[in-house]
A and B are shown apart, each in its own frame.
Chain A
């Protein structure tokens, strides 16, 4: 794909004579859009055919997914790395306690009916000899309605000219902001990745809901070059979120550019890390990525039950009977909530792909794991726990899929690390370090149980007696999730929470599942750090 993408890379604003065409690509009118009564007819064709073929339950999902990904290289070039619109209808059918699923890009009454019939036939085949009979429990309240991610401007109604102008203006601001370092050149790169997914869900329980969901994964980076080397920092502001073009256009990147440039210049003189155990302060972005893997992904109920054993992996948070209400992931100051309601959250929807309206819930309470991310199908697996704790065994609304071509799976909601009740700031945490490291942003990678992992910090520096001393390169923080969280000493308070998002690939066929994560800066004690280039 890299070579395919390269075709468009290097584009410049070179109109081929004449003024640019007016108008924008708002979608293909040949297919019914959200609110069009034809969608109900199509859904009915699929569901009626499934019922006639013996389905005890069926749902039909329609997705119309528009994606545009543009990479801007400074203020001189851009490339369109992805430009697509794809339609899909997926029909999921339960017969005799087994699933069948069919999907196609063709939205016709005949095709919808065929998908319903064939999914039922497939389900009946799959049911033969099966010992586990899938039940969905009591149906959720019948959901009917429409919902749309609150946005100000649809990114697909913004012209390419305007996008170029905004991106180049940011890059030009960056190149002028070299903080008086006359030998340094400052460059900038920006990606704008936008998805608009029109999703309609209908089920034999009577639900019929349509949503228009806007997902953005923008990024912005500064790069500084001096005779001594190159270093770069990425924006804290442009992060994955649900929203429209305003996320980019109104981003106050100019406000953070001086800091990003200053950090980059500082990093050019970085010294190599000396492997050891360090007290570490992770900024909110780095903490969020650790949280995303060790709690967000690790608490997916399908991983807990072994459904992902041959794909994305299992989890250290299993089995449920040994974990729920018993297992202390971390100290009391670790509290984690799940929601699909936070405005702007990557996971935010009004209904999930089971037609369930999601609820907010607590995942980690005072350090103890108390819940998993659930769907209608799987929640019954932990019904005894809920019964014991006096809660109804009701799905939290975590069913999702990247398009109707795939089956719904468990996907983390917006994962939120609850801020401390104090006003502790990131700077307070840093200044509390006698000797240690501060790690800002970067990547977090975990093994197939989200148990052991590593943090490759983007910006790492040493602190002595509360003061920043020098930048450190090639750090790799090694962790074992429960040990890391148990070494948590202090967290940021109100006002330090930062929201972003991440993705996980799971399932067979593989799907990319994005979710939101919000965290606060955190200080950990004596964490092992090694040199990422050092061999055994």
Chain B
């Protein structure tokens, strides 16, 4: 075994999460404690988090926590079973292994027709920032006092969240694989509301490096949006030219990225199936839980055609993910040690790739490796500014973000949710007044085929690194008023 990553110097002193050496030791102990042969693999996610939360301009909670996710998988003669624990002592490990043994007696012997990964080469990137790791409780509290001052001065109410974390990720196994990499993440978001509850503004972003987040600027944006969104008027639902700010684009496009799966597509299910069968295109009525694969596109083989190679979005749109992207690097390996490769899912509007797991790769595609979808993504942009988008709009809406987005229809990717934290009416090239929130019903497939213009790509606040532009689209469907603020 040869560790491919060494830990940064700053990790030698505080023991806030598991280091490479600790993961190495853990694997050795688990191997030693395992009896009865077979292989052992571990997925380790060991995380320290420091956070601070405030509301009504005052700190309401804070935390410094450490937790581990140790997923132990044992496999033998094609059968495998697992358990997740967060304790590292021998007795705990023994008990977990005993539980796994019991499960293995009932596991399918044909589920893992491939051996464990033994040695891999991964793309090299840096996911670490000392600035993030060193933003301690005192620094966070000091920042908070500074960040709420403008809201206090304006007699507004700020509710914010600042979180820094450092995680040791490891995919290691008894066949010789040892992948480990530490990473940091910083997140800042702020909601500013007025005292009467008629105006609300939001801004937020995440980055591995705290220094790349400008909390003062974000706070100013949230405050400005709060003031400008106050006392909105109701206007008719309908189809509008809509300028979606990056956070709104990210929320909608995420549903598309989530759906980029090859297996269901080749089973005739979902948005990427070519010539979907009629019975399945409608899907089951009522509860779908009993249908398994047929209802949700789960297991089973392929055989059908996907839309790979077809034009599916406006030609100005490319959706890609690259672990070495300097603006949004992410882990170069997955939980099973398989590498995360750079991928262009959609290039100039054409569907190029769909993700598949290792089982599908081996069984259906005659390939050794999966094509992982980490859910990190970059969407290409343009050079239109917000001012230009507004100026070119005769009658339309400017939307800050979309909340509670959920899928209504898998085949069309029709989604619903509400606008939130600032919507404004644009008339004759100018913002005229704030309007009440809407419930929308729209698909990223439709919206991003109705594209007017794109802005410069920027980071949005999502679970995985995400870069998207602001987008202006036409005929965006606002179906009803949802007048919560």
Contacts and interface: CB of A to CB of B under 8 A. Distances in A.
Contacts of A459: 286
Interface residues of B, number: 112
Contacts of A233: 286-287
A102 B65 contact: yes
B107 interface: yes
Nearest to A453: B482
B420 A448 contact: yes
Contacts of B53: 310, 508
Contacts of B437: 447
A454 B406 CA distance: 12
A499 B292 CA distance: 27
Interface string A125-146: 1101111100000000000000
Interface string B38-59: 0000010000010111011111
Contacts of A534: 441, 479
Interface in A1-52: 3-4, 6-16, 18, 20-21, 23-25, 27-31
A15 B106 contact: yes
Given A11-B108, A83-B103, A86-B84, A221 B287 contact: yes
A103 B66 contact: yes
Given A231-B285, A233-B286, A448-B403, A122 B62 contact: yes
Contacts of A229: 279, 282, 284-285
A8 B215 CA distance: 43
Interface in B327-363: 335, 357, 359
Given A7-B73, A126-B141, A232-B286, A447 B163 contact: no
B137 A221 contact: no
B301 interface: no
Contacts of A10: 108, 111, 299
Interface string B398-434: 0000011010110010101010100000000000000
Given A128-B141, A230-B285, A447 B98 contact: no
B67 A309 contact: no
A411 to B, nearest CB: 15
A122 B284 CA distance: 53
Nearest to B90: A30
A7 B111 contact: yes
Interface in A211-235: 219, 221-223, 225, 229-234
A489 B157 CA distance: 39
Contact of A30 (B87, B112, B294): B87
Contacts of B416: 445, 454, 532
A407 B282 CA distance: 44
A101 B140 CA distance: 14
B103 A14 contact: no
A316 B484 contact: yes
Contact of A451 (B101, B289, B484): B484
Interface stretch (A54-62, A262-270, A513-521): A262-270
A14 B86 CA distance: 29
A172 B412 CA distance: 35
Contacts of A15: 105-106
A309 B95 CA distance: 43
Contacts of A84: 83-85
Nearest to B139: A125
Contacts of B95: 25, 27-30
Interface stretch (A184-192, A357-365, A412-420): A184-192
A99 B291 contact: no
A88 B197 CA distance: 38
A21 B290 contact: no
A18 B238 CA distance: 66
Between B53, B57, B145, the greatest number of chain A beta carbons within 10 A of the residue's beta carbon is seen for: B53
B109 A16 contact: yes
A28 B64 contact: no
Interface string B56-83: 1111111111111001010011011111
B421 to A, nearest CB: 9
Contacts of A188: 290
B484 A452 contact: yes
A38 B95 CA distance: 20
A15 B105 CA distance: 5
B157 A105 contact: no
Interface string A471-504: 1010000101000000000000000000000000
Contact of A307 (B159, B163, B479): B159
Contact of A160 (B76, B103, B163): B103
B483 A20 contact: no
A53 interface: no
A102 B137 CA distance: 11
B439 interface: yes
Interface in B107-141: 107-109, 111-112, 137-138, 141
Interface string A304-321: 011111110110101100
Give the residue among B82, B163, B191, B286 with the most A Cβ atoms within 10 A.
B286
Contacts, number: 338
A232 B291 contact: yes
B478 A122 contact: no
A306 B79 CA distance: 51
B381 interface: no
Interface string A401-443: 0000111000000000000000000000000000000000100
B67 A88 contact: yes
B86 A445 contact: no
A173 interface: no
A121 interface: yes
A329 interface: no
Contacts of B161: 310-311, 508
A533 interface: yes
Given A30-B89, A448-B418, A3 B357 contact: yes
Interface string B254-291: 00000000000000000000000001001111111111
21 contacts: A6-B357, A8-B107, A24-B102, A74-B290, A83-B103, A86-B85, A99-B60, A100-B137, A102-B64, A103-B66, A231-B285, A232-B286, A232-B291, A270-B285, A307-B56, A309-B159, A311-B161, A447-B420, A509-B63, A530-B479, A532-B408
Given A10-B108, A449-B485, 9 more contacts: A18-B105, A83-B83, A164-B106, A219-B289, A230-B279, A308-B55, A310-B189, A533-B412, A536-B477
Interface of A: 3-4, 6-16, 18, 20-21, 23-25, 27-31, 73-74, 77, 80, 82-88, 90, 98-106, 118-119, 121-123, 125-126, 128-132, 159-161, 164, 187-189, 191, 219, 221-223, 225, 229-234, 263-264, 267-268, 270, 305-311, 313-314, 316, 318-319, 405-407, 441, 445, 447-449, 451-452, 454, 458-459, 471, 473, 478, 480, 508-509, 530, 532-536
Interface of B: 43, 49, 51-53, 55-68, 71, 73, 76-77, 79-87, 89-92, 95-96, 98-99, 101-109, 111-112, 137-138, 141, 145, 157, 159-161, 163, 189-191, 193, 197, 200, 202, 237-239, 279, 282-292, 294-295, 298-299, 335, 357, 359, 403-404, 406, 408-409, 412, 414, 416, 418, 420, 437, 439, 441-442, 477-485
